[in-house]
Amino acid sequence: MLEAQEIIWIQNHKTILKNIDFHLLPGECVGLIGPNGSGKSSLLKILAFLEPPTSGQLYFQGQAVPKSVPLTIRRKIAIVFQESLLLNTGVFNNVAMGLKIRGLPKERIREKVDYWLEQFGVIHLSKQSARSLSGGEAQRVSLARAFAIEPDVLFLDEPFSALDAPTKEGLRIDLAKVFKSTQATTVLVSHDFKDIAHLTNRALILLNGEVVAQGPPSELLKNSHKEEVDRFLAHFSS
Amino acid sequence: MEMIWQGISAALHLLLTKDPEVIEITLLTLKISGTGTFISLLIGIPFGTLLALKPFPGRRFILSVVNTGMGLPPVVVGLWVSIFLWRSGPFGFLNIIYTPTAIIIAQAIIASPIVAALTCAALQQTNPKLRLQIKALGATRLQYIWLLLKEVRYSLLAAIIAGFGAVVSEIGASLAVGGNIQGYTRVLTTATVLEVSKGNFDIAIALSIILCLLAYGATLGLTLLQQKQQGGP
């Protein structure tokens, strides 16, 4: 579905990503984990075509992705950031935004928006202003907006990190259910191994802009790695 | 003090009796300043958007010029528009000096930097991640700009209020390019100055009260709309 070869990204004379190779199979949910500043969100931006890499090549559905990414490819992905980033309008309009951009007929938009608001348990907020929502509600609406466009690849950049523990737990459970029913091809960035363990099939650990370990989350915890990787994972092994 | 009361009384009289000349001047003021503001939106919003969203060489310099233009003295605009529209000037062939069109042009020039600078400031204050999010939703360039402008719509209302407020209250440009011709280019500000120069303070006060009411009335609607939609108290 998505492949990255020898990705290097330099920003302000600093190498943020060093020779990253990555692949994502259809239906797979891959986690990117690492401490703050490890480059995981930068990698997500590159993989989601929001920033062009300094060097290296991206392939999407078998085709090389040009530097200026065509709209047809950009419209096959969706991203949810740490902040919900809702527009200053109603909940319905926010979820409908990506569909309106794609020029879907009104009836289809209503069907899809209602379905995804229902899936994330926020259908009752449909007529409310996005400004009136709590953090957890706003993030659910943001997820509904991303799923509504039925992307080929979904990118989640620390979607729970701004939420309190109980809200986070509830949303993680609901998201896991949605993943199970949709088989959405997903890249999840998190600095919390619990998120990765619950939601992904495979995880990559990034340290200082490099992939230092990868594999199924349960095995990453069991196996021994470089000292600094073990030190990072030790926080979650208990 | 007596003069002030006389002025207020004269204003009420002129308003209540619907004095034809005052009504005509008021309507003309509204028409000229409204059109001038509208044209400034057509110029200022796209230009402000370009300054906010498109990096290009000299952008900061142009932005500083536009910001300076927010305080552009109307009399200077009046002078330069007069020079250009004067019979022997580059646009003299248009024959529009001392016409309402000339005042509209001058007022559009006064309001455009205000609208452009406030549009630019509003767009630059949007969350950079929100801009990424809009792009990530698959928006085309035009959809991206449209959604961002919608996001800052309340700030744009403030730009309209500021632009209209600046042109409805200016006199230097209206006098220089309009000539204060009775029944043709006489607006509330130029009429007020004329009455002051004639020593008719009561009528001048009356006109100034009408001017203030007009400016207040026009901006009140926009302010209420802005506050209502922003959820203000």
**DSSP notation for A133-177:** --HHHHHHHHHHHHHHT--SEEEEESTTTTS-HHHHHHHHHHHHH
The answer to whether A211 faces chain B, any CB pair under 8 Å, is no
Confidence (pLDDT) at B230: 59
Confidence (pLDDT) at A176: 85
CA angle (B193, B199, B202) in 5-degree steps: 80
Q: Which residue has the tokens 């003295």?
A: B73
Q: Which residue has the tokens 């044209």?
A: B39
Is residue B163 over pLDDT 90? yes
Is residue B227 over pLDDT 80? no
Higher pLDDT, A163 or A124: A124
Residues of B with CB under 8 A from a CB of A: 127, 129-130, 132-140, 143, 147, 150-151, 231
Within 53-72 of A, beta carbons closer than 8 Å to B belong to: 71
Q: Tell which CATH architecture fits domain A24-51+69-76+152-238.
A: 3-Layer(aba) Sandwich (3.40)
Task: State the average pLDDT for chain B.
Answer: 90
A104-113, A211-220, B173-182: lowest mean pLDDT where? Answer: A211-220
Mean pLDDT of the region A135-147:
91
CA angle (B77, B82, B88) in 5-degree steps: 150
Residues on chain A touching B146 (C-beta within 8 angstroms): none
Chain-chain contact of B129 with A145 (C-beta, under 8 angstroms): no
What is the token pair recorded at A2?
């998505």
Chain-chain contact of A87 with B132 (C-beta, under 8 angstroms): no
B118 and B213 Cβ atoms separated by less than 8 Å: no
Query: What residue in B sits closest to A76 (Cα-Cα)?
Result: B138
The CATH number of B21-230, from 1.25.40.10, 3.30.70.1560, 3.90.1300.10, 1.10.3720.10, is: 1.10.3720.10
pLDDT, tens digit, 9 for 90 and up, residues B104-162: 999 999 999 999 999 999 999 999 999 999 998 999 999 999 999 999 998 898 899 89
Size of chain B, expressed as the number of residues it contains: 233
Percent residues over pLDDT 90 in chain A: 28
Is residue B203 over pLDDT 60? yes
| Confidence band of B2 (pLDDT split at 50, 70, 90) | confident
Q: Alpha-carbon distance A145 to B133, whole Å?
A: 11
Is residue B84 over pLDDT 90? yes
Q: What is the DSSP string of B106-162?
A: HHHHHHHHHHHHHHHHHHHTS-HHHHHHHHHTT--HHHHHHHHHHHTHHHHHHHHHH
| Confidence band of A217 (pLDDT split at 50, 70, 90) | confident
Domain ranges of chain B: 21-230
Task: State the average pLDDT for chain A.
Answer: 87
Is residue A225 over pLDDT 70? no
pLDDT, tens digit, 9 for 90 and up, residues A108-128: 999 999 999 998 888 999 899
ipTM over 0.90: no
Chain-chain contact of B150 with A87 (C-beta, under 8 angstroms): yes
For A85, the closest of B129, B143, B231 (CB atoms) is B129
Confidence (pLDDT) at A235: 66
| Confidence band of B31 (pLDDT split at 50, 70, 90) | very high
